[in-house]
Amino acid sequence: MTALSIPLEDTELRSLLHELGAEAARFRFDVAPNPCVGAAILSRGKVIARGFHERWGGDHAEVEALEVATRSGVPRAEWDTLVVTLEPCSTRGKTGPCTQAIMEAGIESVVIGSVDPDPRHQGQGIRFLEDAGLEARFLTGAAPLDEVTPHFLDWTCQDRLRRPYPWIVAKWAQTATGQLSPPKGHGDGRTISSPEALEQVQHLRASVDAILTGVGTVVADDPRLTVRAPARTPQAPDRIILDSGLRTSPDARLFDAPEAGESAGPIRILCATGPDRAREKGLIVAGAGVHGLRGDDRRFLNLRGIMTWMWDMGYRRVLLESGPTLLEACFEAGFVDQVRVVTGPVRGGRGESLGARLQPAKLGSRRDGECGPDSVLEAFIVR
């Protein structure tokens, strides 16, 4: 590996990597389980463009930086260096390989802050760049993964790689005293969140591969689980219903045709093996896919089996929108990776406070904010 001919000292490059890492970390809850990554394009030692991985399924930082560079006014022939906090990917996932985009842009030199911790890809990015004739090297320590994107270390740990399951984002709304149902006489009797918070939910739904809920929620709330305006998505998330005994009604609103400005993903109902054939046929005719899974017995589904099934189906980021029973079960089994909790100002409500039931859960990196009159907590779960 040759020394890079970049008109910047290592101290300046480290400072730039630190800045890129800090900025990239702002998007951690929007991209997880993907890593937070920042990149910059240099021309003769001057930064002409920066880019970040900002949302799940969106462009990676390197591609975003290259796109920004095209609008910088600096001719492509003068782009000479790319600085990036994490080793560029060399395989195709939701987007194309960044190494290919870097090579095609005519970049000559690449400075990388951290090696990819995933043993399946580690070192492949830099080898691809070197084989293509680019100068590349690591400049570690300026944007350490445990600071910039610690959740990615959890995602790529040996235990997770050995028994993989999707990244689970648990979302719920609660009253100021922790109940998931509002007090009697409040609004429509079901909704706690403000219109502003409900709008944010649409953007969250648009950022996942699937939405997971239980039949109890379907029966009690008759939800649509769609993506509605102003959110937009090229492909609406699949809607997965856990329904051991096929209690979902073929007349549920899940099966209604999408309205204008609404996107509805496929419906997949998971039941215990040996379902009632008449009920199964009715749901299939209504438009659902019915999947029988082995459970703890013939009546109940097994959470580990559900997680494995979702992984095998290709779901990587899943939104858990359910009632307290399924929420608590997923927390107790250690499957929840990330939470988004919307707390409304109304006090009281029906049922036990969820906070008391989830007390053992430990929060890691968190972000507190407001959405209209509601408070919003986003956090990663520490195991």
Which residues, at least 6 apart from 187, have a Cβ–Cβ distance to it below 8 Å? Answer: none
Q: Give CA–CA dist 149/32, Å, rounded.
A: 9
Residue with tokens 């749901």: 283
Distance CA 201, CA 227 (A): 9
Residues in Cβ contact with 80 at an 8 Å cutoff, skipping those fewer than 6 apart: 6, 42, 43, 44, 107, 108, 109
> Residue 111's beta-bridge partner residues?
83, 137
148: closest CA among 332, 51, 20, 238? Answer: 20
Task: Report how far residue 256's alpha carbon sits from residue 264's, in angstroms, rounded to the nearest whole number.
Answer: 9
Catalytic residue among 19, 62, 87, 378: 62
Give the containing element (helix H, strand E) for 98.
helix 98-104
The verdict on whether 62 is a catalytic residue reads yes
By DSSP bridging, strand 46-52 and strand 38-43 are antiparallel
Supply φ then ψ for residue 81, to 5 degrees: -140, 140
Could you give the residue numbers annotated as active site? 62
